[in-house]
Amino acid sequence: MSNWFSPENIPLLLKGNAPDSELWCIDCPLGTAVHCTLVGQKYPWCIQIICDKCSVRWFSCRVCCNYRSRCRIFDLRRRGRHHKSYHSDCGGFPDADAVEDDKNSSPSFLVYDSEPVDNMTNHSRSSSTFFDRLSVVGPKAVTDIVAKAHFGNDLYADRLRFADVLDQLAMTGFIFGLTRNQREEFARVADTIVRNTEERVSRLSSQDVSCTTFEICAVPATMPLLRSIYMDGRSSIYNGLPRPSVTMLGGHTYMPLKEIVAHHLAFATIEEVSVFDDFFRDNSREGLIPNSLYNSVAGYERIQEAQTCNNFLRTIPVLAALWSDGFEPSTSSKDNRGSGWILTITFCRPVGVNRRSTYVIALGEAKLDHNIVFEQFAKDLKDLQQGDVFFFHGGLSKSVRCHVEILSVLQDQPERRSSTCIGMGNATYSMRWGYSAHTEEIFDKLKACSACYEALLSGTTCECSTCACWDYSKPVLESSIPKNFPLDSEVLQMDASGKPCLRPFSYSFEQLQSACELSLKKLSAQ
């Protein structure tokens, strides 16, 4: 049943006590249809209204009639304050870390459908069907989808030009970017263009046109035809294309790693396999130029690990890097309100291969706890590292044994400290990640002197006793002991004169734990 109504015709059971004046769009003519729905069980008093013409959305209270938010994104704070002040007896006030929320109460940048968490490691039905077809007929699978959508049978695929297939894919993406009214207007315009073109051709043609062996795809001149071919039809182009299943996880939208790897490899090229030929040939790095991550030391180690995990059967390594950070939505006022957070994965590509390799794993609000996302990602990654994991590879046109490895995790200092649950620190002792050093005292000796600077530019080495040349391990980097520093700490060292001092050191989890225990012991003794 449709939820599009003229404002005065919204059912009483839906709008409640909300007056009609709160249901009109103030920017559009009177009588413009609106879409009215209940927000969900957590806010039984709240209805959401969306204008059919300008797509502006707002909230209204169906109980006390004094709430309205003219925002193009959800004003969650205002809605939460109203709920807490007037309707707390309708249900518990939801926490910021609520795991599940319905589609209508999600932030505007969370746009994916939810799937059960139990099914996260399985391909969606459309993806499985597409990959199976792709493994049998190759790229012709896309042509089959278009033929079935237009003619009801993929037997017509051989009579379609590939240029027409590409046009139909572009048309599908274009139509899904339109609003409901725009789709109806597009169908009307297309029908007018076709009729005018046919009329001109009939007037200008003085002889019969020779028959062609190619079928002509129908132009979606009506809304039902447009929906049948491109959108909602059983054999529509959209339903035939692969779509990863996306779930809700701790308030985040989450795409399983297995789905991402499957889509990335399904459209891989043969060049992405030939890059491993030298390795499989002699299993040596001699003569290899480190011009890509595949030829780096870390990449070589991961390639070896992939073969080891699969009993040295030929395995395609899938190397990737993670990146996460917070961001301000384009509609934000840049004051850290409504900030978002994103986690992406980028797959390594050989030199000369230029195709999409970055995919979004998770998306959510910055204030949420992101540990649940990293925990689920770790589980997904572990499943793909057990050995005998097969994916369809587009370059080889068959299923091959693959092994996924993460080369690096890219994060700035605040993001890395947040994800590892370490305090934010300061520029005095925590300027470099993973190290503790009194940077202010050692900076003059830490930076390269003129001789070392020239050596760095020329690519040579310089044995210098006056500076560390940005090397934290040099003994020349000594700093004094802060006031009240415990003299029995294991990180204390001795300088040349035999006095205790501090030098930069790389800390571990055990050292951090020991420091916390020592601090607690000292404070308890006072």
User: What's the token pair of residue 187?
Assistant: 């169908």
Query: Per-residue pLDDT for 284 more than 60?
Result: no
Query: Per-residue pLDDT for 372 more than 90?
Result: yes
Of 417, 449, 475, which residue is a domain's last? 417
Predicted model pTM = 0.59
User: Pairing state of beta strands 493-494 and 57-61?
Assistant: unpaired
Decide if 70 is inside a domain.
Answer: yes
The total of structural domains in the chain comes to 4
Region 224-231 average pLDDT:
86
User: What's the token pair of residue 5?
Assistant: 């109504």
Whether 311 and 409 map to the same domain: the answer is yes
Alpha-carbon gap, residue 179 to 185, rounded angstroms:
10
User: Pairing state of beta strands 247-249 and 398-410?
Assistant: unpaired
Decide if 449 is inside a domain.
Answer: yes
Whether 307 and 194 map to the same domain: the answer is no
Closest alpha carbon to 477 in 506, 505, 452, 442: 442
Kindly report which listed range (328-337, 419-428, 512-521) carries the lowest average pLDDT score.
Answer: 328-337
Whether 340 and 375 map to the same domain: the answer is yes
Is there a contact between 492 and 478 (Cβ–Cβ < 8 Å)?
Answer: no
Most confident of 134-143, 237-246, 251-260, 407-416: 251-260
Decide if 448 is inside a domain.
Answer: yes
Decide if 501 is inside a domain.
Answer: yes
C-alpha distances (whole Å) from 435 to each of 420, 422, 430, 471, 517 are: 14, 13, 7, 12, 19
Backbone angles phi, psi at 500, to 5 degrees: -70, 145
Query: Per-residue pLDDT for 215 more than 90?
Result: no
CA angle 300/304/305 to nearest 5° reads: 115
C-alpha distances (whole Å) from 285 to each of 277, 278, 326, 348, 456 are: 12, 9, 38, 18, 26
Query: Per-residue pLDDT for 160 more than 70?
Result: yes
Alpha helix stretches (DSSP H) within 343-393: 371-383
Query: Per-residue pLDDT for 220 more than 60?
Result: yes
Alpha-carbon gap, residue 10 to 488, rounded angstroms:
75
pLDDT at position 205 is 67
Decide if 319 is inside a domain.
Answer: yes
Query: Per-residue pLDDT for 155 more than 80?
Result: yes
Query: Per-residue pLDDT for 310 more than 50?
Result: yes
pLDDT at position 466 is 84
Query: Per-residue pLDDT for 447 more than 70?
Result: yes
Rounded to the nearest integer, the mean pLDDT of the chain is 78
pLDDT at position 115 is 36
* Percent helix, strand and coil across the chain, each to the nearest 5: 40, 15, 45
* DSSP letters spanning 478-504: -BPPPTT--TT-TT-EE-TTS-EEB--
Backbone angles phi, psi at 471, to 5 degrees: -100, 115
| Residues 109-132: tens digit of each pLDDT | 222 233 333 333 455 677 878 887
Higher pLDDT, 294 or 478: 478
Closest alpha carbon to 515 in 495, 488, 494, 482: 488
Closest alpha carbon to 404 in 259, 309, 306: 306
Whether 382 and 489 map to the same domain: the answer is no
pLDDT at position 116 is 38
Decide if 117 is inside a domain.
Answer: no
Kindly report which listed range (227-241, 275-289, 338-352, 364-378) carries the lowest average pLDDT score.
Answer: 275-289
DSSP H or E run through 184: helix 180-204
Rg of the chain (C-alpha set):
31
Whether 263 and 297 map to the same domain: the answer is yes
Neighbours of 218 (CB within 10 A): 13
Query: Per-residue pLDDT for 360 more than 80?
Result: yes
Alpha-carbon gap, residue 60 to 75, rounded angstroms:
12
Whether 364 and 223 map to the same domain: the answer is no
How many angstroms from the chain centroid is the CA of residue 345?
Answer: 8
Decide if 45 is inside a domain.
Answer: yes
pLDDT at position 3 is 58
Region 378-389 average pLDDT:
92
Alpha-carbon gap, residue 90 to 64, rounded angstroms:
13
Decide if 53 is inside a domain.
Answer: yes
Of 94, 118, 140, which residue is a domain's last? 94
Query: Per-residue pLDDT for 190 more than 60?
Result: yes
End-to-end CA distance of the chain: 71
Whether 295 and 149 map to the same domain: the answer is no
| Residues 44-95: tens digit of each pLDDT | 777 888 888 777 778 788 777 555 555 444 566 777 777 777 776 554 333 3
Whether 37 and 142 map to the same domain: the answer is no
Backbone angles phi, psi at 364, to 5 degrees: -165, -175
**Structural domain boundaries enclosing 206:** 131-240
Q: Which amino acid is at 401?
A: R
Whether 413 and 448 map to the same domain: the answer is no
pLDDT at position 370 is 92
Instruction: Determine the angle formed by the axes of helices 257-266 and 371-383, rounding to 10 degrees.
Output: 50
In the chain, the percentage of residues whose pLDDT exceeds 70 is: 81
Region 283-310 average pLDDT:
74
* DSSP letters spanning 276-327: THHHHHH---TT----SGGGSHHHHHHHHHHHHHTTT---EEEEEEEEEEEE
Alpha-carbon gap, residue 230 to 172, rounded angstroms:
6
In which band, very low, low, confident or very high, does the pLDDT at 500 lie, cut at 50, 70 and 90?
Answer: confident
Per-position b or e across 349-372, b if 16+ CB within 10 A of its CB: bbeeeeeebebebbbbbbebebeb
Region 378-383 average pLDDT:
94
Whether 42 and 160 map to the same domain: the answer is no
Whether 468 and 381 map to the same domain: the answer is no
User: Pairing state of beta strands 358-365 and 43-51?
Assistant: unpaired
**Can you tell me which residue has the tokens 């009109």?**
24
Q: Which amino acid is at 148?
A: K
In the chain, the percentage of residues whose pLDDT exceeds 90 is: 14
Of 394, 417, 440, which residue is a domain's last? 417
Whether 400 and 469 map to the same domain: the answer is no
